[in-house]
Structure 1
């Protein structure tokens, strides 16, 4: 059995997730995946959103709930960790670097537990880079809508006729 423990720093509440070994010969563990779900309007996150509204003085209201997913053939185990959003924001705080190292170690231990190969840079590194690239592309699209390139402006279209 593999246990993962998390502690909430606001109320010192502790949570645990248990992963169990697989039967011999079964290839059921697909890997670790990262992602997010939108909170607004989602009934599953009503309590999470109310906690964010209650403690607005401490941190911003989150629009997305970030998760770590352990994917198996028969289903998935989700762990919602809201501090993953700080990786995407690009904050370079000591506690965030510490969490990053712990998540990398978690990936290594889980892959070792299920005897799978893991790339040395880890999965979270690739995921954060992909999310940052998508964000930059979205900002470029917004910038092009506000200030379109000269070849796409309205005036240049009329000159062609």
Structure 2
């Protein structure tokens, strides 16, 4: 009987060793949303990787001091990545949301398997969440649709515009700041649309 117990214990140790050596699955591996974090003039600047568009956002139910933003991947829209914007400390201030276009350091190749096409990104549109002590630049490939006049009546254009307007409203409410009438994104689109 003792020999049987010892063999079971030995087998248990072997199984434990094998399970420790297994690589983690994709779901367990936590990917970093930010491609670059830099300090410029005492301000911390976070740059996200390039994503397609928004998946969801809102105030975290478990931690009401966090505002989460989930983004869909550029290559696979089922890959969801998330980051948090935190409530303000006493010496910080939410300055607002800004939109812009930035030239990329290196050209970025995007393959669309549904349409069987490949294209190169040399510049990318971004949303900047600006604070007194830093900023978060969120690069979204889908924003370029908003700048094309021929896409104005498309369902994706209208959906993305409504999502961004809702994001502006919720984020300004979260930081107790007043949002201009009609939002910020329509003004940016008017200036940049071709």
CA distance in 1, matches of 2:183, 2:130: 16
Contact 2:74 2:141 in 1 (8 A): no
Match of 2:101 in 1: 36
1:136-155 mapped onto 2 (5 Å cutoff): none
Gaps of 5+ in 1: 136-161
Equivalent residue in structure 2 for 1:116, among 169, 172, 177: 177
1:127-138 mapped onto 2 (5 Å cutoff): 127-132=188-193
The CA RMSD over aligned residues, in Å, is 2.0
| Cα distance change of structure 1 residues 9 and 55 upon mapping to structure 2, 3 Å threshold | closer
| Cα distance change of structure 1 residues 59 and 116 upon mapping to structure 2, 3 Å threshold | farther
TM-score normalized by the length of structure 2:
0.58
* Residue 74 of structure 1: how far off its partner (Å): 0.9
Equivalent residue in structure 2 for 1:100, among 150, 161, 165: 161
TM-score normalized by the length of structure 1:
0.69
CA distance in 2, matches of 1:86, 1:102: 14
The secondary structure found in structure 1 opposite 2:99 is: strand
CA distance in 1, matches of 2:145, 2:173: 27
Match of 2:134 in 1: 75
Q: Which has the higher helix share?
A: 1
Q: Which has the higher strand share?
A: 2
Number of aligned positions between the proteins: 124
